[in-house]
Chain A
Amino acid sequence: MADPTSNGTPSFSEPALRLKLGLAEMLKGGVIMDVMSVEQAVVAEKAGASAVMALERVPAIIRAEGGVSRMANPKLIKQIMATVSIPVMAKCRIGHFAEAQILQEIGVDYIDESEVLTPADEEHHVDKHAFTTPFVCGARNLGEALRRIAEGAAMIRTKGEAGTGDVIHAVKHMRQIVKEMRQLTVMREEELFAAAKNHQAPYELVRIVARAGKLPVPNFSAGGIATPADASLMMQLGAEAVFVGSGIFMKGGATPLDLTVTAEREEAESRAQAIVTATTHFDDPKVLAEVSEQMTGAMKGLAVGAIEEKDLLQTRGW
């Protein structure tokens, strides 16, 4: 097999990477929902989710309970894969390539090397070129996004601040990445070398972004999206799809909605459907008003400003 990084940057014409990017293309315009059970996965699929992210604890619970967060039990992931027809993603810890190997072995469709789980390596991320299964990684700025792409990520998502229901840092990170890309497009050739140094990113990738005005992989949004208006906001700011973590199935704190109770099940369904519709019709305020009205409840949430620096999830990853 040809070395995909032989010139210091991923070869976007190489078949393995094209297939990874291909699935990311298919997920555009959609909502990827965190699910902790088969029942939640079914609600997500019926509501129109374009994929589900299988995990044992959504970020809101991780935040409330603490402890070490790891890859979900493969048995749970396999049960979800056997139940829904849409793609199933799962998370591995940053740098934990053995968890990633397990996720690839059981056949998950996308691996999220995620700051939401407890990192397994203080310096290195997973070499994602070594996998057939595509990876998505979080980023707060362009340099971080390009470092992940250099490592083989086939999709970038803003980190935001997961598990809060507060969209402020998803906005901050998307604005940052879009602004930094726009700046590259007006630079002179020699300035791009300095820009690569400043972004701590490979020059070749910086040049690709400067030419195209966008990332060479799809750019999605995550981390605090909880309402149809949040989804619309992120899409209008340049996201090509959204991840909704705790926003669909959480009540408040560490308590999920109880799907065996009709009213709570309907609340989860109404949130999921409203956010799916809002993501498609993100630029149509009339539709957004209708779906916002139909939605019953939203997660209570936690303002990012009230979280101590050391408790932020977004600072994980390097």
Chain B
Amino acid sequence: MIIGVLALQGDFDAHRRRLEELVAEVVLVRKADQFDGIDGLVIPGGESSTFLKLLGPGTLQKLSDFVHSKPTFGTCAGAIMLAKEVENPHQPGLNAIDMTIRRNAYGRQIDSTIVEAASALGEEPLEMVFIRAPRIEKVGPGVEVLAKRDDYPVLVRKGSVMAATFHPELSADKRVHAEFLKLVRNGSRR
């Protein structure tokens, strides 16, 4: 089981470390042909406008094909990439999860915050690190909401695709990545 981490820009190294702690084999993905050798993909935090520019049309198509067929997990900018609709400003989304997401909806860096809240991942509250975070404004039918902050979904799942508007890779709690690896294991059995 090989997990790719999209490594164009952003905190891909934090995801790599976390996945390796969970004993996954990780490759950093920068080029279109690398999508063929991986069983699951993490799209990290960073700047989604930078990702889109660096992907270019060819690699974007390859990424789109991947997220519609294999397990994928996006955090923050990665969640923005996976959305159906992106606001503030409008930009293309991969439509892997039927949701509308709003960039920088909580404000600027001075509004970044760490909160703890209940989640579907067990009794222990989940620490959630929000950095210039986007907000999921609405989700479509069939999208599971695994955690919320102030009534807005912050961790969602649709089929084998997961998205978080916070950064589990920056917390000690490994449950979110472990949950994603479960999806990959199930996916590779299919």
* Residue positions of A touching B, CB distance < 8 A: 15, 18-19, 22-23, 25-30, 45-51, 81, 85-87, 104, 107-110, 132-134, 273, 276-277, 279-281, 284
- Asked whether, in the complex, the Cβ of B30 is within 8 Å of the Cβ of A86, the reply is no
In the complex, how many residues of chain B place their beta carbon closer than 8 angstroms to a beta carbon of chain A?
Answer: 34
In the complex, B161 has a CB within 8 A of chain A: no
Chain A residues lying within 8 Å of B9, measured Cβ to Cβ, are 28-30, 48, 50, 279-280
Chain B residues lying within 8 Å of A107, measured Cβ to Cβ, are 107-110
Chain B residues lying within 8 Å of A86, measured Cβ to Cβ, are 47, 49-50
- Asked whether, in the complex, the Cβ of A85 is within 8 Å of the Cβ of B88, the reply is yes
Chain B residues lying within 8 Å of A25, measured Cβ to Cβ, are 10-11, 13-14, 45, 170
Chain A residues lying within 8 Å of B12, measured Cβ to Cβ, are 28-29
- Which of A85, A109, A281 touches B49 (beta carbons < 8 Å)? A85
- Which of B10, B104, B114 touches A26 (beta carbons < 8 Å)? B10
Residue of B nearest to A131 (CB): B110
In the complex, B76 has a CB within 8 A of chain A: yes
Chain A residues lying within 8 Å of B132, measured Cβ to Cβ, are 23, 26, 87, 109
Residues 120-147 of B at the A interface (beta carbon under 8 Å)? 129, 131-132
In the complex, B41 has a CB within 8 A of chain A: no
12 more A-B contacts (CB under 8 A) besides A22-B131, A25-B14, A85-B49?
A: A22-B129, A22-B170, A25-B170, A26-B45, A29-B8, A50-B46, A86-B47, A87-B109, A107-B110, A273-B53, A276-B54, A280-B54
Task: Report how far A50 CA is from B129 CA in the complex, Å.
Answer: 20
Q: A19-B114, A277-B54, A281-B30 are in contact. Are A28 and B108 (CB under 8 A)?
A: no
Residue of B nearest to A81 (CB): B108
Chain A residues lying within 8 Å of B49, measured Cβ to Cβ, are 45, 48, 85-86
Q: How far is the CB of A150 from chain B (nearest CB, A)?
A: 22
- Asked whether, in the complex, the Cβ of A29 is within 8 Å of the Cβ of B110, the reply is no
Task: Report how far A85 CA is from B90 CA in the complex, Å.
Answer: 11
Task: Report how far A30 CA is from B10 CA in the complex, Å.
Answer: 7
- Which of A50, A133, A284 touches B109 (beta carbons < 8 Å)? A133
Task: Report how far A47 CA is from B47 CA in the complex, Å.
Answer: 12
Task: Report how far A267 CA is from B88 CA in the complex, Å.
Answer: 28
